[in-house]
Copies of this chain bind each other. A is one copy, B any other.
């Protein structure tokens, strides 16, 4: 469900490259490799799983290698961190959020299936607005918001007749 397949992956990488170019950020070879791995994963992927895969192309890779790349990708909004899972997921980003006009620091929410592990990113403005409103009502000035919902995805709920 998640994960960017085949040609879509290349297209996403090309968009990422363009976005970085536009804002003067360097999408180096290492960063591109890490981004490719994150995008290719069908689920949110942990930093160490990413590291294992990265070592196939870059034998000397160590934890800081992948964490530094992830820090960059997070700053650029090309990946997100799923806090509940301590794992990372590619942003479906530009192509999916262009319609709502959000940039690289767009509001987003995650739907995490507790059965199959699939994690979907959605972008619901009403949720974002409700959260912002609740924060302001408490005299709080929000900067970044995490919304993560655990439950059953459509596929798993459908197959669970119990």
Contacts and interface: CB of A to CB of B under 8 A. Distances in A.
Interface stretch (A56-64, A67-75, A89-97, A148-156): A148-156
A135 B148 contact: no
Contacts of A126: 130, 133-134
A123 B154 CA distance: 28
A144 B114 CA distance: 10
B154 A135 contact: no
A154 B133 CA distance: 14
Given A84-B83, A126-B134, A131-B109, A150 B154 contact: no
Interface of A: 83-84, 109, 111, 113-114, 120, 122, 124, 126-127, 129-131, 133-135, 137-154, 157
